[in-house]
Amino acid sequence: MSIQSVKKYVSVLFLFAIAVATSAQVKWNQTFQNYIDQYKDLAIEQMLKHRIPASITLAQGLLESGAGRSELARKGNNHFGIKCHDWKGRTTYHDDDLNQECFRAYDNVYESYEDHSKFLCTKPRYSSLFKLKITDYKGWAHGLKAAGYATNPIYAKKLIEIIEVYRLHDYDYATTYDKFVMTHNAKDHPAETGGTLHTINICNRNYFLKARRGDTFKSIAKEVGISARKLARYNERHHKEPLAEGDVIFLKKKRTKADKAFKNRPHRVAAGESMYSIAQKYGIQLKSLYKKNRLDPATYVIRQGDLLRVY
C-alpha cells in the first residue's frame, strides 16, 4: 500500500471516529450519578452566590473531569479544565490542544468550583450569559460554546444531554428554597456534626430526604424545622404513623404532576410498587395520580406492567 493510500485510509478512520463520537448519546451510569450526589450541594451553593445554573456547573464538571476521574481532576483537583492564563496559583501540565499545556491546580475541589464561578463572572465574553434566566440551561450551554469555553463542536449538545438525562435542571429551582438549603447544608458538615443529618435531595422542584431506621415524623421535624403534622400532611400520611427505612419524606407540599421530562413517558408498574410509592417516586400527590389515570381508589387494583400517566 502506498503512503498516499495509508494517509487516505487513516483520514477515513479519523472522520469515522468523529462521526461515531458525535452521534453517541449520553446514557445514565452510576459513576456520573455518584459524582452528582457528591457535588450537587456545592453546585447549588455556587448558583446562589454567583447566579450560574447548578445544572450547568454540574454538567461541565462531569464532562470536563470525566466525573472526577480525569488526570487533571485527580492530580490538580481541576474539574473544569481551566488553563493557567493569568493564574498565580499552583499549576499542573497536561496534553490538550497542544502538548503539555499549563492548567490551574487547586488544593481541593471546592476551590475548583469557586474559581470556575469567578472565571465565568469576571471574563467579559461570558457577561451576556448572566442576562439569561437561571433556569435557561439550554441558553447557557449554547452561550458557553459560542463564547469559546470549549473547542468541541458538540459541547453544548453534550451539556444539554447530561442535564436532561440526570435531570440536573431540577437543581436550578433551588433558589426557591435557598434559605432552607443554606441553613441545612451549613449544619450538615461531617467535621461539625459527625455526618448525622440526613442528605437533602431534590425531586420535581421539591426537597426530600430518606428516612433512616428509627426515624419518626417527630424526629425529622426537629431536624428540618418543620412541624411533624405538616411533614405528614405533605406526604399524605398521619404524623404518628411509623416510618420504614428508605421512606421518601418530602419537605414541601407535593405537586399535581411530575417533571415535564415525563410528559410522554408513562410509568410502568414494577413488582412490589404501590400507587403511593409511585406518587412518592415522582413527587406528586397520590390523589392526582389516581385522577390523571381516571382510576377509582376504591376499586383499582394495581398490577405489575400497568402503564400510569404521571404528568
DSSP letters of 54-75? HHHHHHHHHHHHTTTTSHHHHH
Which CATH number is 303's domain given? Answer: 3.10.350
Residue 207 lies in a domain: no
226: in domain: no
Note the pLDDT tens digit of each residue in 237-269.
999 999 999 999 999 999 999 988 899 999 999
> How many other CB atoms are there within 10 angstroms of residue 257's CB atom?
18
144 and 264 share a domain? no
pLDDT of 20 above 70: no
Instruction: Please check whether residue 1 lies inside any domain of the structure.
Output: no
Find the mean pLDDT for residues 226-244. Answer: 95
pLDDT at 193 over 50: no
Domain around 76: 23-174
- Answer yes or no: do 152 and 55 share one domain: yes
Domain C-terminal end among 113, 143, 174 = 174
Distance CA 106, CA 85 (A): 15
Measured between alpha carbons, how far is residue 289 from residues 7, 123, 301 in Å?
Answer: 61, 47, 14
Say if pTM beats, i.e. exceeds, 0.95: no
Tell me, what CATH number does 97's domain have? 1.10.530.10
CA quadruple 81, 147, 129, 142: dihedral sign:
negative
Same domain, 151 and 279: no
Q: Which of 174, 204, 229 is the last residue of a domain?
A: 174
Contact 204, 282 (CB under 8 A): yes
Least confident range from 34-48, 184-198, 284-298: namely: 184-198
**Domain end position, chosen among 131, 153, 174:** 174
Query: In the chain, how many domains are there?
Result: 2
Q: What is Dmax (Cα atoms) for the chain?
A: 82
